[in-house]
Structure 1
Amino acid sequence: MIPRPRPPLSFSLSLLALSIVSGFGPAHAQSVAEGSITIGASVIDGSRADRTVVDQYTGLRPGTSAFGALSGDYWRADESKGTSVDFRASDLFGGNRELGLRWKKQGDWKVSAEYREQVRRESALATTASGQELDFKLKRTGLGLELSKVLGEHWQVDASVQSEKKEGSRLWGIGMNCPSPNAPGCRGTTGTEVGWAVLLLPEPVHATHTQLQARVSYAADRLSVSGGYYGSIYRNDYGSLAPTVPAALRNALGNPLPLSAGFAGVLGQPVALSPDNQAWQLDLTGSYRFTDTTRMNFKLARSQATQHQSFADAGLTGAPAGVTDLGGKVTTTLAQLGLTARPAPKLSMSATLHYENKDDQTPLALYNVEGTSAYTNRRLPRTDMRARVQGTYQFNSDWRGTLAATYESIDRGVFTPTSAVAGITALRQKTEETGLRAEVRRRMTDDLSGAISVESSRRGGSAWLRDNSGTGVTEVTDAAAQGVGYTSGIFMPTLADRKRDKIKFQADWQASESVALQLSAETGRDSYSSPSRYGVSRSALESVNVDATWAVNDKWNITAFASAGRQGLDQSRPDSAIMAFDNRSTTLGLGFTGKPRSGLEVGGTLSYAHDRSIYAQTLDATAGGESVALLAATGGLPDIIFRQQVVKLFGKYTLDKQSLVRLDIALARTSWNDWAWGYSGTAFTYSDGTTVSRKHVQNVSALGLSYIRRWP
């Protein structure tokens, strides 16, 4: 990896909140104060392999079985001065610490600061061929400061700065298969040498993202307006990775063999990481009230994003002659106008118009050279226009109807003639989509109400543009005349014609003073059309959700929920498989709280989740013999099934008016058979022998005891 050390663009607030709070001194008679502190300890069982799913965001180190907890908050107000201070701290003994402070004078000024940490670990275990376990984790450290000041009766100024540092490593890798037109001289795999490989290449992360905001606001009787600035600065201390490739790698059978000619040089090429970049935006937003029933709002904004990190500083070579950096530059102009009105007592209307233009001004250079052919990078301009009109009419006290119409136009600009595209057959410059939505809502009784809504939209576009590899594009008006290579090609579903239809039902039922039910159900379908009979043809969505609450009596409450959903996607590839992807998920939950005796409160939740992804595969008539043999031998991709059952119980006992103790118990069982991490007990193995695995069934239990003290 190629490091570029530099001072971090951040500031230290870790002790700022504590130092400010410590300077307030004791409370006086005209002040009121309250706060709490929680201190406790917990134990958790299970091996590291048993806890990879649960431990992703706990902040615990691998193998930790016991840990402490410390949290607290403090609030104090001086009624005579109109000031207050609010301090909070959580998880001070753990890896997800948070500190926050807010100090303000009502109607005058406000200062707030925060510090936060979060650790994320991979949900899989990686072990090298020598048996060494690798620990991939990302630690985020965030700092923030906000200031606000009222300047007179109509003016206010706000400013903030947020900085987050990300450091650690991420599970990542590279792969190559020879022979390839992009790797001349690289030979394929034989019985005596390896010509393909997938290598584990952990991505080092040490980056800082800083965001700056400032805003001046003016508010009067009818007019409110504000002008703002936003700035974003991203700095990455690592510009690229340079892999170390061993002299021998494992073939498909796991046998170590030497690399074919030219293969080591291809795998050893540096890989670029996220480059430094920066952006700024100026905006003017506001609203004007013409009458008590008519209001207009607007927004104007101008922004610019640039990326000019030096290739040499990032450890990258091979740039075109005279080019030292990308020089990326995108300027965006945005205008938005909205109007809401009530022209009649029972009629309310709204309309919005949105315009956004992205002007890509990145310089062009010959980055892609293949033999005697050379291509430049491609500019990506884009102009979006969106409009929406909606009206709602209250027919009577029981019936209300809503009708809305939408329009969206996307113009992707003129194709860069000196560039080329790969992996797709044709592009489209413009797409347009129109839609209608109708909803009827009725109150059947004082305790029962419901609504049904229907949505439908249609997307089309301009003629398809076939790439001529460095000499522009050709507009295609007759797909059949282009031959089988075109009508069996690959077209992006985001550019294809699409028909979308959805229907949704909602109901709220207050069965009694103690029982309430909420129900929602939705179904929708997308149908795609392009010059090819391959690609994505259909997608579908169905879902049902039920929530219920029951106040058994003054001491006991029960809640329950259930949801079921289904997603489908049909797609196919020429000379290959036709896949009908079907994902089905079910979630159930039951909870309760109660007070069996004075001073004692208990509660708990039981949840169950089941998710199944089915990959039903058949073959296209043009599929080759190898594909037929492979599908016959394997039956296609196996299902991926995720199940999780979680039980949580708690009990709180009040010792006196200011203190209590709490006991928490949690049990979790997770099973996940994702074949990406292993199949039939065999872990995924990289070509260098490193394995990545996830235990199929994981069981974890935890017990926590805490003491809580409140004052006054």
Structure 2
Amino acid sequence: MKTINTTFRLTAVAAAMLAAYGSAFAEDDDLKALTKPDSSISVGAGYWTNDRPQQGIFDGMRDDHGYALIDADVVKRDDATGTWFKFKGDSLGLESRKISVEVQQQGNMGGFVNYSRIPRENPLEIRSGIRGVGSERMTISGAGTNALPFHDVDLATYRDLIHVGFSKNLLKDFDLKLSFKNEEKNGSRHWGLGSAALFVAEPIDSTTQQLDVTLEYTGEKLQLAGGYAGSWYRNKNDMVCAGVKVNNNPVNCLTATGSASSPSSTPLSLPLDNEAHQFFLNAGYAFTPSTRGTLKVSRSVATQDETIPSIGLAGVNAPFVGAPHKLDGEIVTSLVELGLSSRPTSKLSLNANLRYHDVDDNTPLATFVDVPATRTSPRVIVHNTPHSNETKSGKFEASYLLPERFKLIGGVDFKDQDRSAPKFLDERYVPFAESIEETTYRLQLRRSMSETVNGSVAFLHSTRDGSVRVTPHDPHIFDAINPLHIADRTRNKWRMSLDWTPAEAFSMQFNVEDSHDDYAREDGRPWGLKDGRATLVSVDARYAFSDKWELTGWASHDVTRAKQLAGRWDRVTEIFEMSKDAKLEDRGNSVGLGLRGALTSKLKIGADVQWTRTESSYDEDTQLSGLGGLQATYPSDTTGFRATGARLPDIENTLTRVSMFARYAIRKNADVQLDLIHERWKTDDWTWNFANGSDFTYGTTTDGTVVSNKPKQTANFIGARYIYKFQ
């Protein structure tokens, strides 16, 4: 038998065919990954060695015990009908769990159901004799013969959110979308009476619902989306009654005794029921292939008409005769927004936007407090303060492509707001701006310096002015206060970014931001912010040693500074008593490193190190005036004008976290993973301490509740998982 050897030579035609269809084979692999994605289920357990009340806020693992670690990500597709089924479950064994189920038939219809539970546990340690936490009636600890046995009080809130949605293609270019959210919030939150140093917990038991109905049209040039959005808030609790039990008599807000300034029990109103309804229309139209216009129109009405819960009280807590039974609150919000974008040439792009936003508070003006005058005190009248504002704003931006791969971007933003002011002169304690104008100019230069380096630098300059100010009730004193949210201000801000990829194995991103605020005081208003400064520097880098090993790292540094001048006046005589010239600063530093690699074809390992430190400082120079009753409350030097008490100490928080994992493939579609974490958090926060360092105590002669935090929290975690993968 004759052996025939056939040799194929690579001709030009064969090379062309290989170039065309070789990439198609790779695309087939990508298409398979998209249409038949991997699914996985992970089941395991973990254990924390110590309590971690601070960091446990974020991951739902606060206490020193075991936790179930269950996650799932399942994706299936029915090729015959083009229907996708997706199920995703995160942290199913923890309080902070999430579940998502979605079914979607391409081009036809689909729906989803999402559930999430968000816990928020108070990290503070509270020892109190309070009774009734979680209810509307609470008995405060008391002191002396009225003291109650102390116990640990754990405060936490839990949000359970269910979100369902449905979409349907009605016609060729029309789609209907429905969405409904229901959130139940329960628990108790740290609270207080406000008028006295007594510990109270706010009971939380409310429901928030939201309904969205949208009809969309998608044409070749015209796109429309319009519909309805509604929200409803319902609070099952309406009023808290808190007081000290005296001689075993139950706390009773309905017929409280005592005096108006010191009642035997105190009622506190909780958030009242309210609802809002909005109709909206969004549109977009392509006038030409390079020019497009947009329109947004909406109108909403928010109301609150629940009966005020304190209206039925008697005794010293009874409302005055003629007090309104309801707020009858109504706020109407209107929005109109126009946008236009165009590219008249290949190098020039233009964007413009105009926006009108009107908030019309139609709530009736009424008297809610009316305390008759006495021999020693004047009559006190307090009204509600409906607040309306009308804002006209807009922006214009142009970008132009320059030679040498430069791109210049310039723009201007403006805002003009008219605001209502409190009607009654006696109820205005600071000057109130009825008109605010703010303008921002932006200039940015970008350049693609090479295939490996890209960068940009930007500068923003903005000014804010209040042209008309309403005078407070005592212009001699309070007109010198400059409220920070409406104060005249000049802001200059720089931004710089750089992306560097010198090789496929290495990349780095570098960012710098710096801004400076100057609050004008030449108008005779020295009290308030003087100036502010904020700086942020960050760098991220990645380096691949090989196809199997990779190192990542990042670092950031931020500083925020503010200078402000604060004053204090006697409440009755309005005599100026003291000033505080403060230099406030928040500083943060963070560093992180990550390593990923494969020791063998079956064993992968990784490690991460994170270190973060934040520091807040309060440098205050206190100057006493020598007048008013406050002088005796501060130790002073020989001049009698300067407080000699020590300045507030800095607050420093530090977090160090080291985590490692190892994943071993026991089969082609199954892995086991071991996780180890060491975590150390410490603080010297004095917020809940007295000046001598002792734990804060509510009303040592009336309550006695003690609040403290754990300044050092060190814990270790070990967890193991079994991960099953399938298609």
Query: Quick check: TM above 0.5?
Result: yes
The corresponding residue for 1:341 is: 342
For 1:119 and 1:416, how far apart are their aligned partners in 2?
Answer: 39
Residue 515 (structure 1) aligned to one of 496, 500, 506: 506
Which structure 2 residues correspond to residues 447-458 of structure 1 after superposition, within 5 A?
447-458=452-463
2:687 counterpart of 1:676? yes
Q: Structure 1 438/68 Cα, relative in aligned 2: closer, same or farther at 3 Å? A: same
For 1:683 and 1:334, how far apart are their aligned partners in 2?
Answer: 51
Q: Structure 1 576/40 Cα, relative in aligned 2: closer, same or farther at 3 Å? A: same
The corresponding residue for 2:544 is: 551
The corresponding residue for 1:88 is: 88
2:716 counterpart of 1:701? yes
| Runs of at least 5 residues in structure 2 that lack an aligned partner in the other structure | 1-34, 130-148, 248-256, 374-378, 568-577, 637-641
Question: 1:73: how far off?
Answer: 2.8
Q: Structure 1 605/501 Cα, relative in aligned 2: closer, same or farther at 3 Å? A: same
Question: 1:632: how far off?
Answer: 5.3
Question: 1:421: how far off?
Answer: 2.7
1:658-690 deviations in Å (ceiling 9; x for gaps) = 100011111111111111122565211111111
Question: 1:213: how far off?
Answer: 0.2
2:651 counterpart of 1:640? yes
State whether residues 612 and 656 of structure 2, in contact with CA within 8 Å, keep that contact through their aligned partners in structure 1. Answer: yes
Q: How many residues align?
A: 631
For 1:450 and 1:200, how far apart are their aligned partners in 2?
Answer: 55
2:660 counterpart of 1:649? yes
2:414 counterpart of 1:421? no
The corresponding residue for 2:488 is: 497
2:370 counterpart of 1:358? no
State whether residues 329 and 363 of structure 2, in contact with CA within 8 Å, keep that contact through their aligned partners in structure 1. Answer: yes
Letter in 1 for 2:716: S
For 1:314 and 1:209, how far apart are their aligned partners in 2?
Answer: 25
The corresponding residue for 2:235 is: 236
Question: 1:365: how far off?
Answer: 1.3
Q: Structure 1 416/583 Cα, relative in aligned 2: closer, same or farther at 3 Å? A: closer
The corresponding residue for 1:183 is: none
For 1:378 and 1:127, how far apart are their aligned partners in 2?
Answer: 39
State whether residues 382 and 427 of structure 2, in contact with CA within 8 Å, keep that contact through their aligned partners in structure 1. Answer: no
The corresponding residue for 2:39 is: 35
Q: Structure 1 510/569 Cα, relative in aligned 2: closer, same or farther at 3 Å? A: same
2:587 counterpart of 1:590? no
For 2:187 and 2:694, how far apart are their aligned partners in 1?
Answer: 28
State whether residues 651 and 683 of structure 2, in contact with CA within 8 Å, keep that contact through their aligned partners in structure 1. Answer: yes
For 1:286 and 1:589, how far apart are their aligned partners in 2?
Answer: 45
For 1:310 and 1:396, how far apart are their aligned partners in 2?
Answer: 68
SS of alignment partner, residue 427 of structure 2 = coil
SS of alignment partner, residue 357 of structure 2 = strand
For 1:355 and 1:501, how far apart are their aligned partners in 2?
Answer: 26
State whether residues 58 and 119 of structure 1, in contact with CA within 8 Å, keep that contact through their aligned partners in structure 2. Answer: no
For 1:596 and 1:495, how far apart are their aligned partners in 2?
Answer: 60
State whether residues 377 and 419 of structure 1, in contact with CA within 8 Å, keep that contact through their aligned partners in structure 2. Answer: no
Residue 567 (structure 1) aligned to one of 560, 580, 587: 560
| Runs of at least 5 residues in structure 1 that lack an aligned partner in the other structure | 1-30, 177-196, 249-259, 470-481
Higher alpha-carbon deviation: 231-240 or 32-41: 32-41
The corresponding residue for 2:443 is: 438
Q: CA RMSD in A?
A: 2.3
Letter in 1 for 2:497: Q
State whether residues 472 and 478 of structure 2, in contact with CA within 8 Å, keep that contact through their aligned partners in structure 1. Answer: no
Q: Structure 1 521/266 Cα, relative in aligned 2: closer, same or farther at 3 Å? A: farther
State whether residues 425 and 473 of structure 2, in contact with CA within 8 Å, keep that contact through their aligned partners in structure 1. Answer: no
The corresponding residue for 2:198 is: 199
The corresponding residue for 2:24 is: none
1:80-130 deviations in Å (ceiling 9; x for gaps) = 111121112232322122221111110000111112212110111111264
1:549-589 deviations in Å (ceiling 9; x for gaps) = 10111111011111001101111222132111011110111
2:167 counterpart of 1:148? yes
The corresponding residue for 2:179 is: 160
Question: 1:320: how far off?
Answer: 5.9
State whether residues 378 and 419 of structure 1, in contact with CA within 8 Å, keep that contact through their aligned partners in structure 2. Answer: no
The corresponding residue for 1:76 is: 76
Letter in 1 for 2:650: D
Q: Structure 1 581/626 Cα, relative in aligned 2: closer, same or farther at 3 Å? A: farther
Letter in 2 for 1:115: Y
Q: If you compute each CA radius of gyration, which structure gives the higher value, 1 or 2?
A: 2
Q: Structure 1 449/378 Cα, relative in aligned 2: closer, same or farther at 3 Å? A: same
Question: 1:34: how far off?
Answer: 5.5
The corresponding residue for 1:464 is: 469
State whether residues 375 and 420 of structure 1, in contact with CA within 8 Å, keep that contact through their aligned partners in structure 2. Answer: no
The corresponding residue for 1:18 is: none
1:147-198 deviations in Å (ceiling 9; x for gaps) = 000112110000010011000001111233xxxxxxxxxxxxxxxxxxxx41
The corresponding residue for 1:711 is: 726
Q: Structure 1 571/320 Cα, relative in aligned 2: closer, same or farther at 3 Å? A: farther
Higher alpha-carbon deviation: 274-283 or 96-105: 96-105
Question: 1:418: how far off?
Answer: 4.3
The corresponding residue for 2:326 is: 325
Question: 1:507: how far off?
Answer: 0.8
SS of alignment partner, residue 357 of structure 1 = strand
1:46-89 deviations in Å (ceiling 9; x for gaps) = 1x4xx1102224334x6441122222232221111111211122
1:487-530 deviations in Å (ceiling 9; x for gaps) = 5x323112221111111111111122211111111111111124
| Identity across matched positions, percent | 27
Higher alpha-carbon deviation: 617-626 or 404-413: 617-626
The corresponding residue for 1:536 is: 529
TM-score normalised by L of structure 2: 0.83
